[in-house]
Amino acid sequence: MENCGGAKIELHAFCGNVGDLEISREKCRVATEESECLRQDLAQQLEFAKEQNKRLEERNVARESEQEKSPRR
């Protein structure tokens, strides 16, 4: 009977550890999903900023070209 009591204690402790690990794993999964969403959002923002920068550079080139063509006063 004594062995049975010890085994029950060990089983109870093991089940507690498994539960803790499941909770930890779930937290990691959620954090990973949130990080991936943030990464995708930042990648989209970066792409948008690159496109805007390209358009602004094209405008500057066109403006400089126009200024070179127009007579100076």
pLDDT at residue 69, rounded to an integer: 82
Separation CA 14–CA 24 (nearest Å):
15
Separation CA 56–CA 62 (nearest Å):
10
Q: What's this model's pTM, rounded to 2 decimal places? A: 0.61
Separation CA 50–CA 42 (nearest Å):
12
- For 28-72, write each residue's pLDDT tens digit: 999 999 999 999 999 999 999 999 999 999 999 999 988 888 776
- For residue 55, the tally of other CB atoms under 10 A from its CB is 10
Q: How confident is the model at residue 73 (pLDDT cuts 50, 70, 90)?
A: low
pLDDT at residue 37, rounded to an integer: 97
Q: How confident is the model at residue 19 (pLDDT cuts 50, 70, 90)?
A: confident
pLDDT at residue 42, rounded to an integer: 98
